[in-house]
Every structure is written in structure tokens, then in C-alpha cells.
Amino acid sequence: MHLTAAPLKIQIQARLQQLDGRLPPRWLPSSHLTGAPAGAWRSWLQEQGSLTLRLQSQARQGFRVRVLSEGVSRVHPQEAQLLQAASHRVWVRQVLLEVDDQPWVFARSLLPLDDRGLLRRRILQVGNRALGHILFSDPLIERGPLMFCAPGQLPFDSLWGRASCFYGEHLRLLVAEHYLQPMAERLALPTLPYYATALMQGVTPS
């Protein structure tokens, strides 16, 4: 049974620490993700512009960034490898992107501690603003290929996810975004068939 709104927020907050050092989601290019959704889901997964702006366009009452945790933490070696980070200790920021007070997206951003420069300072001081305002306003920041993961790979209820690395001068930032049930319900995006497909492919929800 999926949780919505306040119960889901409580569940995510309670299980957040379980992500530390945990095996990360199985990120795959779209061509290798079996059971990947089509239609409107694919549009959200493959969005090349600012996800923040797209979420804001869906808001009837408001959009907010709820910061769940932020600080230096140890990450799994696979995440460090994606970042090409020399150390497994990186700056980690975990937030909920909320539309009309409903949690639509869980986002996890990783920044190596050896990065330097103005961009690093801006990101570390972003506070309760969306990172997208920085990443998509600077023409010198480039985005790497999108990767995707099937539902159920976090310690709380989650649907499809996507991740990519952003690169700039003295900057490497890994951003993972996982869509949540309230978003699917509001936009009438199908969930159960894809969830079942992920299970059949050996991806077991936590």
C-alpha cells in the first residue's frame, strides 16, 4: 500500500539514514532498462530542462524545497565511482520537491569535497532553494547522460528514478531524482504495471 502526503514524508524522514553506505539504485541507460514506461512517464524521466521549472508549472498553490539533510557523509563506492571522486566522503544534500504541499520528488545530490571555486560555494550555500536555479542558469555547466532506475530501490516508497552528473569548472555534481506516488496520482500516471515489471526483472523493493 502506498503512502501519500504527510505519512510519506514521515516515512522518508525516518528511513533517510538507511541510505548512508547503502547499495545505491541500479542505474542503467534507457536502452537497458527493461519495463521502462512510455508516454507521459517517459516525458518526465527524459526531461532535459530544469525539473524544478516543470514542477512549478504544475503547482496550483505553490512549490517548495524541503531540505531533509545536508552535510558531509560517506557514500557507497559505486556513487563515488560515478562522481570520479577520490574519497568516499562527499557533501550530500537530500531534499523533497513538493508541489501544493505534496512530496513529488526525492532528490539526492553529491558533491566531492575536493571540488573548489565559486560554483562549489554557491551550491553549498543554496539553502532551501532548488539546485536547478544554479545548474540551468550557468551556460558553462554541462549535463552528462541520463541514467534511470526502476521503482522500489530506496528504503521508502518510490517510483521511477533518474540521475545525471553535472560538470563545470572545478565542479562535479551527481543529482538523483526519484518520483513519488503523490505525483503519479495527481498526474494520473500509471504505476502498478511498471512496478510489477520491475519485480519480474529481479528488482526487489525495500
Which residues are part of a known binding site for substrate? 93, 131, 177
- Residue at grid coordinates 551556460: 139
Provide the annotated binding site. Answer: 93, 131, 177
Q: How far is CA 144 from the centre of its chain?
A: 15
Closest CA to 148 of 191, 198, 193: 198
Q: According to the 3-state scheme, what is the secondary structure of the chain?
A: CCCCHHHHHHHHHHHHHHHCCCCCCCCECHHHCCCCCCHHHHHHHCCCCCHHHHHHHHCCCCEEEEEEEEEEEECCHHHHHHHCCCCCEEEEEEEEEEECCEEEEEEEEEEECCCCCHHHHHHHCCCCCCCHHHHCCCCCCEECCCEEECCCCCCCCCCCEEEEEEEECCEEEEEEEEECHHHHHHHCCCCHHHHHHHHHCCCCCC
Distance CA 190, CA 90 (A): 35
